[in-house]
Structure 1
Amino acid sequence: MGTADDQSPAIETDMMMSSSSAFSSHIKAISGTSRSVEHRPRGRFSKTSDNAYELPLPQGGRFGPPQVEDWPTEEQSRELVSIISNSIGNIQHLFDPRTFFDRLATVYDREDPGAWESDASTAEILMVLAVGKLLQGHIYNNEPFPGFNYYAEALKYISSLDCLHSAGVLGVEIMGLIAFYLQCADRKEDAYLYAGMGLRIAIVMGLHRDSSGASLTRSERVHRNRLWWTIYMQERRLAAATGNPPGIQDEAIRAPYPGEFPGFISPDALNVNINIAKATGQILQVIYGQKAQTERSFIKGVQGILVSLHQISGTIPHELELDFSDKPVTVTRTNATLYLMLYQAIMLATRPTLLYLTGKAVKGRNEQEILFQPLHQFAKTCIDAAQRSLAILRALRHQQLLANFGFFDLDAIFSVAFVFVLAGKIYPGKESYNRDIKLTLALLDHLSSHGNRAAPNRRADILQMCDHLGIAREQMAFSTHGERHPTRDPDKPPEHVQVADIPTETGPPQDTTTPLDFTEPALQWVNDIDELMLQQDPHDFYSLYYNDGFPLAGTVETDWEALERQIFR
């Protein structure tokens, strides 16, 4: 028989109730005539005005039609939007193509200044075209980066956060588009700022809450829901890419996952992507966070992350599954990106093991002694994820789907190269790691030859890592065809590497290397993770990931600097 406390209704708490205005809405609801709190829609409560002094809202930026010389035809504009939909549309939802096409048609149909009255709307049109140009992958008219003229013009229509906040959902979309563009332009920290602002606007609007009771059409609710999860994923990944904390805790989110709805694409791939982003947030908090934990809770956290990633890999829709037994591997742009993000999360969670073992190897630790450590399984998992990523990246290049300026592809190449460099030091007898390093360098050369100026910098960083760890530079300076590629003098600044110095290719490269044999799915071993944990001293495992003298941030650049200080101090 239950106690009186068991039968009492639960005390409702909500983060929004920390606001006195929102709390007053609950007080007003405690009456016989008002709707009960339980039946009030989740979202923003009615509240008193936050502009009691009626301060005028700052005006927007430029008005009227944009000043862009090579303004596209309507057909060209539609093509650019289609490129976005085909490239990232299944795993991100930065804007609603249906309403965007309506506004775009108004601009081309009316052909008068009235079509450009909304500065926020004009800014978004420009940013969509800029992202489309970016994903198209070609530089025109001496632009420093694809779509830069559209991007620069879009910023002229944005004057303040007040205006973006007042623009509502449109403001969130603009911030997400700018963040995506800057991320691909190798301005990760600036992208993190814009994504963070977009996330804040979305939170203030209540997009992180269930909007089922709000006075919106169903299609508007679907759009807002998918936009929320996209800006959430974007901000999470930029936090990982820059080594900064994410802007919202998962416990504060009440928005449901995207569901099926007529007129919208299937949310299956999007939902897998959301789960990977959530796992990335857990990795940042548990593995790279500075929160003091007991050894037991820390180990359980790492274990839970690996199990979660294994479960996520099992939720990938059948039509998007990759078959690594195919020779060569065949990919689509959607499943390639999805798997690259999954493997990136696996590498992020297990990479500290490689850093640890590299430090031991540099200091003369016997290789055989290292091999018998249970931690070897974590190292193998990290290397396996890198090798699978490399197979995907090479398939993208072979099928001419590799994004010349896309951040995710470049970041994946750099991440896997970092893993192979560490693996080459830990296991010097494995010639395959030297081959894998060369293959990643060839991919960076490919991007460089197509105008990607960040790729030569990444290449120079990889060669510098090889130098510091005693991996012969001569072996790394050749492509898979045995052609010598120019390498950067480490004493010269990156800008001295000229794109024209790197050979271009007239067609898809021929794959002449022996394909890797992936005999089982990645992370298959986590079913036996409890037994593996029992073999390792809890204190040693905790110290591996949480060491005040070896702080990790989760980014390749900062973790490499930490390793250098540890090895060469």
Structure 2
Amino acid sequence: MGGNGNKVTKRSLNACTRCRRQKIKCSGSQPCDSCNKRKLTCVFDDRDQKILITRGYLDELQQKIARLSQNDHGEAGTISPEYHEERSPDSKDNIDSAEITRLSPEEKENAELHQELEDPASGLTNPLSTGPPAFMSAENGRTFYLGTSSNWSFTRRVLSLTHDHIYQEPLPTGALAFDGAIYDLGWDGLRGNHRSEIPTVPSFDHAMYLINSVKFRCGQLYHLFDETEFMAGLHEFYSQPKPTPTTGLWYIHFLFMLAFGKGFVQHKMQGNKPPGSEFFVKALQLLPDLSVLHQEPIESTEILCCVALYLQALDYRSSAHNYIGSAMRMAMAEGMHTQMPVEYLGEHLVQRCRKIWWTVYILDREMTSLMGLPQSLSDEHINTLLPSFTGSLQRTAGINMHIKLSRIIAEISGKSPAVYAIDGRLNRNFLIRTKSALASIAKLADELHTAFPLHLDQSTSGVSRISAYLNLLYHQCIVTATRPLLFCFLKIRLESPEHCLEALTTSKNVRNLIQMCLDSAQQMIYILHCLQSEDLLETFLPFDLDSVFVSTTVLLMAPAIDLRWSYPAWLEKAYAIFEEIIENGNLIAKYRRSELQLLDELLSYFPQEHTRCLSAPISIPAATLNTDQTSVQLANFPSSVAHTLSHDLLSDPGVSLEDELSLTTGLTAAQIMAVADSIESIDTEWMSNAMVEHSIW
């Protein structure tokens, strides 16, 4: 048969930059046929031309470098032995630019070639942590830094990106809430104005009720006071015919406990004044300067933890971060991060210091991540032991799990190598670092599910509040590690809608990572829904609110990228959770919900074929969530969630996703590792090309 039907066209050895990034055939002409057809500038970069060399040549080059590194006589071209010791294991085959400059011209050329071959995706960058630092100004003119791993900052970035695309102008910030702007403490912060009246302290029974509320709500998560010493002071205080204020630290500590207690039990709001603020402000006014607090460092560190946690609950994130930083330094100055000698200090003091230290450590890790800042303390400097609790091994296990999750948070947000790198230059490690973070998460999966099961599908026993909190934090780790991919694809969707779904189908591994992010978001909403049904939602401390805010954000973004990722039923449940938190007097939840409503509205402007199923938030009364019909739906939900995940999620045929996945347990360690292990160099190269093509920098 004649004609050109059977003619095989030979691929050009020289392709233009655009064709290489698009992974399409290039004619090799100048300009090429593809660029000429689209009337685009056609650029050929000789540096991108692939050159084949033998493995033996690379080995010979490495041997030359090794010989140079052994030369310690200070000759030209010598590589410092100290430098070799500092290099990370991941870079053992890479050649640093500083090393290249020390080589001879011939060796320099070979080394540059080796570096280019070993790092094919050197332009890959996390769009949330690169380029000039992102800032946003409030209506009053104050400018705020948008930290890379911050939940608050992430939603603001998505809002800004979407608003700018639709309206071609910056996002107005007048209706947005910024750090410390929601609640009014009624104090200008000046110590000279502390002559206000001492707030009336409650009766002894009422005080006991408030303190017990504090113990129930956060006693298993954090150490805020030493019960033996604090309760002795309480009984002494109320033993007087008329309890009167004192000048010691105990009384200040007592006022902070009353402030927390009021926050947990008082739901009626008085304008924008937070519950318990009269006790909190008076305690701050009486609190000595840090130079004086160091004279009583043990109780002072506990007090600083109280201040940080209460401020965090009021959305004073920056102030909270500063106070927990002071607590960290005070604790370290006392050696609490070390193995304090029991024979010298006594068992009780050592146990108290261990409880204090790990509370400071956990709060510092979490608050730093929520600020989107790099972690300041390396774990290699810590060797203190876990505290022990008489008759309660579960509390020690809970602290241990909390510490492990906090370390994963640090690994994701700022501990090198991190998903959210401070310089943004992630090279080919963007997905590799995500893979590493997921591997760390997978190590905890089975231990968490075994030691702290949720039993959400059992009607005979209630939900454990500590188990719920740890599982929520676990899923937040997954979402935080994987949501940069959602941001990437949202920008691709805005820049080139016709190529978005095509891009998603190019790499099933990247698509599965996004699906894992969405699955964890649903898991969080399901856990919070079960807590809501048992009246166990935490409406004062910020952690349940953070969980529903994080999960709702990604579930709103997903269908804008791919309509198949639409979860209207779970968005309805999320808004019902918001509604209950708001009804319990939390003003922050009201602002967070309004931001999500704005995002929902902006995303609804997308073309019809990409519109989402839920165009506006729907609030479901709490009563309707406890109906028999809802129970039946939830009982059948695990299999439906398993069905929504792609069948190619797991590469291991021995692991059955349909059999093992449920909302009561989440993905197993084997399933998470299967997804992480599926990430290959081809995925990082493809992701790099997609990000360069759409200017995601």
Secondary structure at 1:166's aligned position in 2?
Answer: coil
- Offset, 1:246: 2.7
**2:579 counterpart of 1:450:** no
- 2:362: which partner in 1? 233
- 1:176: which partner in 2? 305
Distance in 2 of aligned mates of 1:143 and 1:78 = 27
Does structure 2 conserve the Cα–Cα contact (< 8 Å) formed by 1:306 and 1:526? yes
- Structure 1 residues 547, 453: closer, same or farther in 2, change over 3 A? farther
**2:483 counterpart of 1:351:** yes
Aligned with residue 404 of structure 1, among 515, 529, 539: 539
Aligned with residue 674 of structure 2, among 528, 532, 542: 528
1:5-61 Cα distance to aligned partner (Å, 9 max, x none): xxxxxxxxxxxxxxxxxxxxxxxxxxxxxxxxxxxxxxxxxxxxxxxxxxxxxxx99
- Offset, 1:478: 2.3
Distance in 1 of aligned mates of 2:427 and 2:272 = 53
Aligned with residue 597 of structure 2, among 463, 471, 487: 463
**2:506 counterpart of 1:361:** no
1:267-316 Cα distance to aligned partner (Å, 9 max, x none): 11111011111110111120112247664665544322211112223223
- Structure 1 residues 261, 324: closer, same or farther in 2, change over 3 A? closer
- Offset, 1:459: 1.2
* Gap runs ≥5 in structure 2: 1-190, 605-610, 642-659
Which letter maps to 1:427? D
- Structure 1 residues 543, 74: closer, same or farther in 2, change over 3 A? farther
Distance in 1 of aligned mates of 2:694 and 2:253 = 45
1:478-504 Cα distance to aligned partner (Å, 9 max, x none): 2236xxxxxxxxxxxxxxxxxxxxxxx
Distance in 1 of aligned mates of 2:691 and 2:626 = 40
- Offset, 1:541: 4.9
1:78-133 Cα distance to aligned partner (Å, 9 max, x none): 22222122222222222222221111111111357887241x22111111111122
Does structure 1 conserve the Cα–Cα contact (< 8 Å) formed by 2:321 and 2:364? yes
- Structure 1 residues 355, 327: closer, same or farther in 2, change over 3 A? farther
Aligned with residue 618 of structure 2, among 478, 482, 491: 478
Does structure 1 conserve the Cα–Cα contact (< 8 Å) formed by 2:525 and 2:548? yes
**2:198 counterpart of 1:67:** yes
Distance in 2 of aligned mates of 1:104 and 1:370 = 61
**2:335 counterpart of 1:206:** yes
Does structure 2 conserve the Cα–Cα contact (< 8 Å) formed by 1:387 and 1:416? yes
**2:156 counterpart of 1:156:** no
Does structure 2 conserve the Cα–Cα contact (< 8 Å) formed by 1:276 and 1:341? yes
Distance in 2 of aligned mates of 1:299 and 1:142 = 47
Distance in 2 of aligned mates of 1:506 and 1:480 = 8
- 1:499: which partner in 2? none
1:229-253 Cα distance to aligned partner (Å, 9 max, x none): 1111111111111212333222222
Distance in 1 of aligned mates of 2:333 and 2:690 = 40
* Count of residue pairs the alignment pairs up: 466
Aligned with residue 384 of structure 1, among 519, 527, 536: 519
Distance in 2 of aligned mates of 1:327 and 1:357 = 41
- 2:443: which partner in 1? 311
Does structure 2 conserve the Cα–Cα contact (< 8 Å) formed by 1:63 and 1:117? no
**2:573 counterpart of 1:439:** yes
Which letter maps to 1:132? G
Distance in 2 of aligned mates of 1:220 and 1:66 = 36
Distance in 1 of aligned mates of 2:674 and 2:392 = 43
Which letter maps to 1:382? C
- Offset, 1:64: 12
Give RMSD over aligned pairs: 3.3
Which letter maps to 1:412? S
Distance in 2 of aligned mates of 1:333 and 1:435 = 24
Distance in 2 of aligned mates of 1:123 and 1:92 = 19
Percent of residue pairs bearing the same amino acid type? 22
Does structure 2 conserve the Cα–Cα contact (< 8 Å) formed by 1:287 and 1:546? no
Distance in 1 of aligned mates of 2:466 and 2:474 = 13
- Offset, 1:429: 3.3
- Structure 1 residues 265, 450: closer, same or farther in 2, change over 3 A? same
**2:378 counterpart of 1:249:** yes
Distance in 1 of aligned mates of 2:691 and 2:232 = 52
- Structure 1 residues 356, 421: closer, same or farther in 2, change over 3 A? same
> After the TM superposition, which residues 142-153 of structure 1 pair with which residues of structure 2 at under 5 Å, given as runs?
144-153=273-282
Distance in 2 of aligned mates of 1:320 and 1:271 = 12
Which letter maps to 1:375? V
**2:222 counterpart of 1:92:** yes
Kindly indicate whether structure 1 or structure 2 has the higher relative contact order, using CA contacts under 8 Å at least 6 residues apart. Answer: 2
Does structure 2 conserve the Cα–Cα contact (< 8 Å) formed by 1:329 and 1:391? no
> After the TM superposition, which residues 319-330 of structure 1 pair with which residues of structure 2 at under 5 Å, given as runs?
320-323=452-455, 325-326=457-458
- Offset, 1:322: 1.6
Secondary structure at 1:479's aligned position in 2?
Answer: coil
- Offset, 1:467: 2.3
Larger Rg, first or second structure (1 or 2): 2
- Structure 1 residues 260, 366: closer, same or farther in 2, change over 3 A? same
Distance in 2 of aligned mates of 1:547 and 1:281 = 31
Distance in 2 of aligned mates of 1:201 and 1:549 = 45
Secondary structure at 2:286's aligned position in 1?
Answer: coil
